[in-house]
Amino acid sequence: MTQKQTWHLPKETPAPGKVAYINARLIDPESGLDTKGALLTEGESIKDFGAKLFNDGVPEGIAVVDCGGHVLCPGLLDIQVHFREPGQEHKETIETGSKSAAAGGITTVVCQPNTRPVLDNVPILEYLKTRARESSYINIRAYASISKNMEGKELTEMGMLKDTGIVVGFTDDGLPLMSSLLMRRALEYAGMFDMPIAQHAEDIVLSDKGCINEGKISAKLGVKGICNATEAIIVARDLLLLEMTGGRYHVLHISTRQAVELVRQAKKKGLPVTAEAAPHHFILTEDAVEDYRTFAKMNPPLRTEEDRLAIIEGLKDGTIDCIATDHAPHDQESKRRPLQEASFGIVGVETMLPLSLKLVQDTQLTLRDALGKMTWRAADIIKEPAGRLKKGARADLTLIDLDHKWIIDPEAFASKSKNSPFEGFPAKGRALRTVVGGKTVYQLG
């Protein structure tokens, strides 16, 4: 039986007074706090928390939320999503994407710039800020594009874009920045503002319009593949440029064992490089494409079992800093096409938490490490003051039932789009409540 879900837009919710979250398992992944206790919010902020808070009862006049012994942790972040607004609202909007994210326990997202028009100028970013204020359930941040209109020819006015207050970095995600000279200039320019350049690492000349991983499945299905070298070549080039410039570099949705090793060695040299992995790359392999066809088509593509295990190892040893979904909603017409023609991408914000918790259930990561990849480590990449339980910090919180068993049903997603390869997947762990700025924006049951 499907449990009732309720959402509340923050702008339509009265400002909270004091709220006591009692009977909670408080987890702060950064500090290592893991204790039974309580947490108090007042307005938009965390007022206090700890094992002894409210041991003598909650004073009158304070609203009470009984957490039922479940995990209460900092709100989750997903620093790579496509909410499609403006320009492709038939696939997703700020409202539907943020509603979906809230159901996944996510309190902050970073939208990608490949909208129509591209997020490459101040007016369009101001429009995005306005739409976020009007219709978002959660905190909206954005990457602006590195190059004007994402054409890879001329840098955007990064300083002006930064000053909009919504921009946390720069990327041409959806496309790689192929020009070595422009990448060098981008790293130098963004480095002046201590902001990351995030790269979709793909040598598009080498990938040559391939549609899935180059290997046994591409050969069996008779379609053009994308080899691992397409990612590794760009990462290797960019790391050489990073060493020259001293900027900050972030690898989006890393997918190959070669790229993971390149990042690992760069970190050992002390280079300012970070990386993220998407759940589909550490859960699935290219074999899923044969069964799920276009709903398992994404870019970078699902790779081999060897690559999947390398991603997990990278998460374990810290080579890969965080988990992000690359949430990419598409309409049915775009996905239900021949494999070579179908759009890349899957939806992911409602499944990030349970799929990441599978690493804990399989003893690949500790609970602290898994939650850390979705909270403070993600926050640090974009310099966002989030992802930690701290007195005075913004009260962005996620309440999680680690034992909640459910079957993933894309038709029940709040997202406009349902393109997920995880339909019917038996999941364990789910967000029960999502709190943004002290206001409950989502509740299950």
Written as one string, the DSSP assignment of 184-196 is HHHHHHHHTTT--
Q: Are the C-beta atoms of 432 and 443 separated by less than 8 Å?
A: yes
Q: Are the C-beta atoms of 92 and 153 separated by less than 8 Å?
A: no
Three-state SS at 65 = strand
Name the residue among 289, 290, 281 with its Cα closest to residue 257.
Answer: 281
Residues annotated as catalytic (active site), given as ranges: 326
Encoding tokens for residue 288? 């899923």
- Angle at Cα 228 formed by Cα 225 and Cα 231, nearest 5°? 110
As a dihedral over the C-alpha atoms of residue 316, residue 319, residue 324, residue 328, rounded to 10 degrees, the angle is -120
**Buried b vs exposed e over 241-251: b needs ≥16 C-beta within 10 Å?**
bbeebebbbbb
Name the residue among 154, 149, 200, 153 with its Cα closest to residue 175.
Answer: 200
As a dihedral over the C-alpha atoms of residue 276, residue 379, residue 102, residue 320, rounded to 10 degrees, the angle is 20
CA distance 364 to 152: 39
Q: Are the C-beta atoms of 147 and 172 separated by less than 8 Å?
A: yes
Helix (H) or strand (E) holding 407: strand 397-407
Specify burial of residue 445 (Cβ count, 10 A radius: 0-12, 13-18, 19+). Answer: exposed
